[in-house]
Amino acid sequence: MAQIQHRTIATNGINMHIAEAGAGPLVVLCHGFPESWYSWRHQLGALADAGYHVVAPDQRGYGQTDAPDDNHAYTQFHLVGDVVGLVAALGERQAVIVGHDWGAPVAWNAALWRPDVFRAVAALSVPFSHRAPIAPTAGMKAVFGDNFFYILYFQQPGVAEHELQHDVRRTLRRLMFGASGNAPERGLVDGIANPPPKTAYFLDQLADPTVLPSWLTEADLDYFTAEFQRRGFRGGLNWYRNIDRSWVLSAPFQGKKIEQPALFISGDRDLIRMNPGYEAQMREAVPNLRDVVLLPDIGHWTQQEAPDAVNRELIAFLRSL
């Protein structure tokens, strides 16, 4: 299998750490929260061996990449700009972009805003839909009222940091397990479907496993823990704190469709099951959506929980372009 190399690239005013492997057409893999390039550890070698130059950055605020002090410097426009600059810094004019969790909106928006750079897009876990008529947090407050919702809880700087950073390994263990296909009903999905009062804490809604699931080793947890102990959670949480700002700035793209070839992959135990109308909405907004793949018994950490299936689907999609 191709060897993974590491280096730092200057892009969009920040220094971005990347992991990369292989040679050929460029594929950029964008991670989610709370992860890093390491969430793509199973894809880098597999896609490189299939004939691609695969690059997985630590995105803005994560891992070994810069985390600007300005809390407003984490809009989708900053994040997409980082990847556009990365493609140019690598000496390329085009790339296929793949994103998971928060990396999925980055991938979708990159395809929407810069079709000249991103010739195709694949997203895991988070589907695309047209821009909503109201700001995201306003919609969430209307739905959840006086009940807890983690995205609203994450809005106030310092609050979630205090909870999540108290015991980083415990935080990551509970979150990785609680949002996975291995979680009991008392997982992240249940916490959203049956929300507790607004006074609740985030981690109390997630079970703490006595044994890690087979897809997450102690060494994997060690790596993630070390990264967040060093970097903290502020950078990643700032992505959530800019959702309304990103919504305001994206107004010029209202109603625009993604025309490039696209692929969507999710687990059938992921949050997607709470939105049964997602596929029709996505197909209307992404007319060249090639396939929607639901992986059985898989939760939110799609490419980590089902690496072989994800690799197979991604390679088939890339070869079809």
The H-assigned helical ranges of the chain are 41-49, 76-89, 103-113, 136-144, 150-153, 159-165, 168-178, 188-193, 218-231, 234-240, 243-249, 278-285, 302-305, 307-320
Please name every residue paired with 53 in a beta bridge, in sequence order, or none if there are none: 26
Interacting residues of 110 by C-beta distance below 8 A, sequence separation 6+: 80, 83, 84, 97, 117, 118, 121
Of the candidates 121, 113, 88, the one whose C-alpha atom is nearest the C-alpha of residue 262 is: 121
Of the candidates 287, 290, 297, the one whose C-alpha atom is nearest the C-alpha of residue 314 is: 290
Active-site residue set: 101, 300
Q: What is the DSSP string of 249-291?
A: HTGGGTT----S-EEEEEETTSGGGG-TTHHHHHHHH-TTEEE
Of the candidates 70, 101, 112, 66, the one whose C-alpha atom is nearest the C-alpha of residue 86 is: 66
CA atoms within 13 A on the CB side of 205: 22
Alpha-carbon radius of gyration of the chain: 18
Contact (Cβ atoms closer than 8 angstroms) between residue 303 and residue 124: yes
- Both tokens of 284, joined, read 């209307």
- Residue 132 DSSP class: P
What sign does the CA torsion over 73, 60, 257, 95 have?
positive
Contact (Cβ atoms closer than 8 angstroms) between residue 188 and residue 270: no
Interacting residues of 143 by C-beta distance below 8 A, sequence separation 6+: 149
Please name every residue paired with 5 in a beta bridge, in sequence order, or none if there are none: 20
